[in-house]
Amino acid sequence: MAEDGTPRDSREGLDLADARRRDQADPLRGFRDRFAIGPDPVAYLDGNSLGRPPRSTIARLQEVLAQEWAGGLILSWPERWVDLPVVVGDQLAEAVLGSGPGQTLIADSTTVNLFKVLHAACGLRPDRTEIVVDDANFPTDRYVVDSVAAARGLTVRWLWPDPESGVAVGDLVDVLGPRTAAVVLSHVDYRSGYLADLNEITAAVHAAGGVVVWDLCHSAGVVPMSLDSAEVDFAVGCTYKYLNAGPGAPAFLYVAERHVATVEQPITGWFGAADIFAMAEKFEPAPDIRRMLSGTPSVLGIVAVQEGLSLIAEAGLDRIRGKAVDLTEYAIALADERLVPVGARVASPRAAAQRGGHVTIRCADAEAVTAQLVAAGVVPDFRNPDLIRLGLSPLTTSYAEVWTAVDTFAGILAR
C-alpha cells in the first residue's frame, strides 16, 4: 500500500529501482535490521517454513545459558521457568490470537498438540461418531485425524476442496450433521495460501452441534484474528514460521475458556497435574489451562518464542498484515509479467482477502527448478508435485528480494 493507505498499482514500474523505492517507503523497514541477516542467500523466500533469527533472541538465549542455567541452575525452575508455558502463552494470545489470558500454552509440537486437542474435542461430543477434515490439509493433520479416529472408533469424513483455493463454508454443507463430533481445518492452506473464513466456518460447525479445531501454522503472526470473538473451541500452531522462534521451537495450543475446566487430554504428564511437585500416586489435572501440559517444557524454546512475540507486538498485526497483502500483490504482479509468459502460473487466490502470506507458483519440473533457484542464491519452498511457494515474511522480506527471486526464476524458466 502507499504511505497514505491507498492501494498501490503493483503492475506499475516493475523494475529493481521500483523495488528499492518500495523498500524505502516501507513503514516496517526498520524491523529487518533487527534480524541476523547476512549476504547469503540473496533472496530468502521461505520464512513461511522457517523465519530468520531476531538478534534479540540470540542475545537473550546467551543470557539464559550464562545466568539462568549456569548461574541459577535448578533454582531457576521455581524462580523463572516453571510458569513460562502459561506466561508466554498469554503473551501469544494477546499479540497474535486476539484472545484473553488463561487459554493458551506454549508446549510440545504442533502434532502432539493437535493429538491432545482433537482427543479433547471429541471427548466433548461422546455421542457423535465423525471427524471432518480435508484432503488438502497438512500431512500431520490428516495423520493425526486418522489416528484419533481409529483410537476412538470414529469415521473420518473427507472434504475435497479446489487445490488452488481451500475449504469454504459451502464445502461443509453436505458433511456437517448430527454425527459430526469435530472439524479440523487449516486457517491458511499450506499449498495455495488460501485464507479460510474462520468466523463463518466456526459458526457453521457450531450450528451443526460440532466442535472446531483450527490449525493456525500458516496464519499465526501474519493474519489478524480473534479466537475469542469467533468462539473458536480449540486451535494449535507452530512458532518457527512468522513468529521467528527457531527450528523445532515449541508450538502452542488454545482451549476456549468455556472448555478449560472440564476438558480431558490423553497425555497426562506431571506438568499438567494440579500440584506439580506433590508426586501424587494418581493424576489429578490442574484446574486451569495447565491441564493441557504433559512433560517438562523446553525453556530455551519458549524464551525464543517470547523474543519473537515481542517484535510481533511492537510491529502490530495490522501493519504486518498490510505489508503481507502488499508483498503478495507485488509478487503476483511480477509473476504475471515475468513467469506466466515462460510457462508458469499463479496457483494462489487472486483476491487479497482470501490469501495468507505466501504466493504459490505452479510450473513444470518444479523440484529441479527449485534446486536451480537455491544454487543461484534464491531460497523458496518446493511442494509436490509442481508447486513452488514464495514465502513473504513481512518483518524480514524486502521488495528487492522478491524482485530478485522472480527475476532469477524467470531466467531459469526461459532457459
Question: How far is residue 390's CA from residue 405's CA, in Å, rounded to a whole number?
Answer: 9
Catalytic-labelled residue, pool 31, 44, 115, 138: 138
How many helices and strands in the chain, by DSSP H and E? 14, 13
Catalytic-labelled residue, pool 31, 234, 240, 254: 240
Catalytic-labelled residue, pool 190, 271, 389, 409: 389
Question: How far is residue 365's CA from residue 385's CA, in Å, rounded to a whole number?
Answer: 9
At residue 68, what is the residue type?
Answer: E
382 is catalytic: no
242 is catalytic: no
Distant-in-sequence contacts of 171-177, Cβ < 8 A, 24+ apart = 171/134, 172/132, 172/201, 172/204, 172/205, 175/130, 175/132, 176/132, 176/204, 176/205, 176/207, 176/208, 176/210, 177/208
| SS3 category, 172 | helix
241 is catalytic: yes
389 is catalytic: yes
Residues 217/241, Cβ–Cβ less than 8 Å: yes
Dihedral over Cα of 349, 373, 409, 364: its sign: negative
Catalytic-labelled residue, pool 90, 141, 215, 381: 215
Catalytic-labelled residue, pool 52, 128, 241, 290: 241
Q: Which three cell numbers stand for residue 200?
A: 463463518
138 is catalytic: yes
Question: How far is residue 95's CA from residue 106's CA, in Å, rounded to a whole number?
Answer: 14
Residues 208/237, Cβ–Cβ less than 8 Å: no
Question: How far is residue 372's CA from residue 360's CA, in Å, rounded to a whole number?
Answer: 17
Cα 341-345-346 angle, rounded to 5 deg: 130
- Active-site positions? 138, 215, 240-241, 389
